[in-house]
């Protein structure tokens, strides 16, 4: 085997790869498989965004022609896909089993997060401005300018992050989701634990698992189950969800000879949230359509932007007050055969030396309540804050 690709599937549990992660590497752990990469062989040069998937495929084909057994491209595409993506072919890829193996722990007991002093907490927009943004969105919805828009906020904190420990805790808490740490260069990392699959491709089989319509979990088990049951019956949330499912199905249909779209969503839960989710499966017409091409064809879905897309994007730009960067973009990998997995970049943070920026958003449709959307974004922020013992920063902010 070429020494640039190590396949440890027969030997390792995901635990081994997650524990081996160090800053500067890239980790992408999913129920299907875990990839840990080191070094950068080549970076995809900036190109016309409409040519991104073709440029990526050309780079992977070149590498294969030079004798690599199965070249892989990893990285992240920002929310605004006209901005530069961070996609590269790693020098060394280690592939291990996925996190969804009942016989295999995702991590041994992860090291506990150490409490630490935090300073300079900045929320953009402020909680009051976020509620005001939701009210403005509801006016646009009432005036039929929009049907749905996803509004988010960012939280910057000055704090030091122990990235290896954080990745072990996130992976242990997110065995059915997508745990990632992408090296963005110059000491910056994009890290997260996303519950949402934008697109996965294995041979002709494609899968997408959009989530939309959510409620925070409760510590009281009875109340927790009641909230989940109410979500499944909520007309507002079912409408918010259907907009996403319809868009994903419409995006995949031209590429697929068969597409299965369940009529009703099911419940998906994380440590902090209940979501409505629908798993969509399709069979591709043509094997040359890569996972990256499919993922870019779907992006941005109404789970992160809104409906209609262009109007929602303009509204987000006019009120949100910060650059989303990679948040609500896509993160994952694609190999030279076109197989790959792309998660929606949510429940995430950008980490640099001693600065941390976290993000969370919520879908607004007719019937949304500003205070509930604010509470939903706080609960979503707790995915990352909880894994860093930083939940207290929300106390004065939500
Ligand atoms: C934009 C986020 O969540 C999306 C994904 C799942 C459920 C969502 C919702 O119910 O609003 C959002 O569409 C986020 O977590 O920051």
What secondary structure does DSSP assign to 323-373, as a single string?
--TTTTSEEEEEETTS-EEEEE--SEEEEETTEEEEEEEEEE-TT--HHHH
Ligand 1 centroid vs 51 CA: distance in angstroms?
28
**Which alpha helices (H) appear in the chain, and where do they start and end?**
14-20, 52-65, 127-142, 163-173, 221-233, 235-252, 291-298, 309-319, 370-387
2, pLDDT greater than 50 = no
Instruction: Give the residue from 139, 223, 94, 170 showing the smallest Cα distance to 343.
Output: 170
How many whole angstroms separate alpha carbon 89 and alpha carbon 42? 5
Question: What whole-number distance in Å separates Cα of residue 181 and Cα of residue 150?
Answer: 24
Cα within 13 Å of Cα(177), Cβ side = 29
Q: Which two tokens stand for residue 232?
A: 């499944």
Nearest to 170 by CA among 314, 65, 271: 271
Residue to mutate (ligand 1; options 380, 381, 383, 385; most atoms within 8 A of CB): 380
14-58 per-position pLDDT tens digit? 667 899 999 999 999 999 999 999 999 999 998 898 999 999 999
pTM of the model: 0.95
Locate the ligand 1 atom nearest the alpha carbon of residue 359 and give its number. 16
Question: In terms of C-beta density within 10 A (0-12 exposed, 13-18 middle, 19 or more buried), how is residue 250 classed?
Answer: exposed
pLDDT of residue 21: 95
Whats the size of the chain, residue-wise? 398
Query: What pLDDT digit, counting tens, does each position of 310-360 carry?
Result: 999 999 999 999 999 999 999 999 999 999 999 999 999 999 988 999 999
* Nearest residue by C-alpha to atom 4 in ligand 1: 303
Given a cut of 60, is residue 98 above it in pLDDT?
A: yes
Tell me, what's the pLDDT at 107? Answer: 64
Assess whether 86 carries a catalytic annotation: no
The answer to whether the beta carbons of residues 329 and 299 sit under 8 Å apart is: yes
Residue 96's DSSP bridge partners are 34
Do the beta carbons of residue 344 and residue 303 sit within 8 Å? yes
Q: How confident is the model at residue 9 (pLDDT cuts 50, 70, 90)?
A: very low
Q: What is the rounded CA–CA span in Å between residue 173 and residue 114?
A: 17
Pocket test for ligand 1, best of 232, 241, 362, 364 (most atoms within 8 A of CB): 362
Ligand 1 site-directed mutation target among 148, 178, 208, 212, most atoms within 8 Å of CB:
212
Q: Residue 24 and residue 37: Cα distance in Å, rounded?
A: 9
Pick the catalytic residue from 86, 147, 196, 373. Answer: 196
Q: Indicate which residue's Cα is closest to atom 7 of ligand 1.
A: 212
With the C-alpha atoms ordered 89, 93, 97, 98, is the resulting torsion angle positive or negative? Answer: negative
CATH class name, domain 5-98+122-392: alpha beta
- What is the band of 1 on the pLDDT scale with cuts at 50, 70, 90? very low
CA of 387 to the centre of ligand 1 (A): 19
ipTM above 0.90, yes or no: yes
pLDDT digit string, tens, across residues 80-90: 988 999 999 99
Which pLDDT score, from 0 to 100, does residue 397 have? 60
Distance 339 CA to ligand 1 centre (A): 26
Confidence band for 119, pLDDT divided at 50, 70 and 90: confident
pLDDT at 17: 86
**Looking at ligand 1, which atom is closest to the CA of residue 380?**
15
Q: Which residue, 97, 75, 95, 70, is CA-closest to 86?
A: 75
How many A from CA of 1 to the centre of ligand 1? 41
Q: Is 387 exposed, middle or buried (0-12, 13-18, 19+ CB in 10 A)?
A: buried
DSSP string, 30-44: -SSEEEEEEEEEEEP
Model confidence at 152: pLDDT above 80: yes
- Closest atom of ligand 1 to 237 CA is 10
Domain residue ranges in the chain: 5-98+122-392
CA dihedral over 20, 23, 26, 31, signed as positive or negative: positive
The two three-digit tokens of residue 295, written as one number: 């993922």
Compute the average pLDDT of residues 96-103. 76
- How much is the pLDDT for 81? 82
- How many angstroms separate the alpha carbon of residue 380 from the centre of ligand 1? 8
Q: State which ligand 1 atom lies nearest to the alpha carbon of 303.
A: 13
Q: Which residues line ligand 1 (CB under 6 A)?
A: 150, 152, 196, 211-214, 275, 303-304, 328, 346-347, 360-363, 380
pLDDT of residue 69: 81
pLDDT of residue 3: 46
Quick one: pLDDT at residue 116?
78
pLDDT cut 90: percent of the chain above it:
80
Give the Cβ contact number of residue 188 at 10 Å: 14
120 annotated active-site: no
**pLDDT of residue 114 exceeding 60:** yes
Q: What is the pLDDT of residue 104?
A: 62
Q: Decide if pLDDT at 106 tops 70.
A: no
The CA distance from 107 to 46, in Å, is 36
Residue identifier of the C-alpha nearest atom 13 of ligand 1: 303
Atom of ligand 1 nearest to the CA of 347: 15
Candidate of 272, 274, 363, 381 to mutate for ligand 1, largest count of ligand atoms within 8 Å of Cβ: 363
Residue 5 confidence (pLDDT): 56
């Amino acid at each position: 085997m070429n020494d640039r690709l190590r396949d440890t599937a027969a030997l390792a549990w995901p635990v081994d790869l997650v524990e081996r992660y160090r800053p500067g590497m890239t980790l992408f752990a999913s129920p299907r498989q875990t990839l840990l990469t080191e070094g950068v062989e080549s970076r995809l040069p900036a190109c016309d965004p409409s040519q991104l998937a073709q440029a990526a495929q050309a780079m992977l084909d070149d590498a294969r022609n030079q004798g690599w057994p199965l070249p892989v491209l990893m990285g992240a595409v920002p929310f605004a896909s006209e901005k530069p993506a961070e996609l590269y072919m790693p020098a060394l890829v280690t592939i291990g089993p996925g996190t969804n193996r009942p016989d295999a722990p995702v991590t041994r007991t992860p090291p506990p997060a150490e409490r630490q002093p935090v300073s300079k907490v900045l929320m953009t927009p402020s909680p009051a401005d976020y509620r005001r943004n939701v009210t403005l969105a509801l006016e646009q919805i009432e005036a039929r300018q929009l049907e749905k828009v996803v509004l988010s906020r960012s939280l910057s904190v000055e704090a030091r992050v122990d990235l290896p420990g954080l990745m072990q805790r996130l992976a242990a808490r997110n065995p059915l989701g997508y745990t990632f740490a992408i090296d963005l260069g110059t000491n910056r990392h994009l890290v997260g634990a996303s519950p949402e699959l934008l697109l996965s491709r294995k041979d002709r089989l494609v899968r997408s698992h959009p989530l939309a319509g959510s409620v925070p979990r409760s510590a009281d088990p009875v109340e927790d189950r009641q909230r989940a049951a109410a979500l499944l019956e909520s007309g507002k949330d079912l409408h918010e969800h259907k907009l996403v499912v319809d868009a994903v199905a419409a995006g995949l249909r031209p590429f697929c000879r068969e597409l299965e779209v369940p009529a009703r969503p099911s419940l998906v839960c994380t440590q902090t949230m209940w979501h409505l989710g629908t798993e969509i499966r399709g069979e591709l017409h043509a094997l040359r359509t890569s996972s990256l091409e499919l993922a870019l064809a779907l992006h941005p879905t109404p789970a992160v932007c809104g409906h209609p897309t262009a109007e929602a994007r303009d509204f987000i730009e006019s009120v949100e007050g910060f650059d989303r960067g990679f948040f609500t973009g896509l993160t994952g990998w694609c190999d030279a055969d076109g197989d790959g997995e792309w998660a929606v970049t949510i429940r995430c943070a950008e980490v640099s030396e001693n600065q941390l920026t976290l993000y969370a958003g919520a879908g607004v449709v007719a019937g949304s309540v500003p205070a509930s959307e604010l509470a939903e974004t706080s609960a979503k922020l707790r995915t990352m804050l909880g894994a860093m013992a930083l939940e207290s920063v929300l106390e004065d902010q939500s």
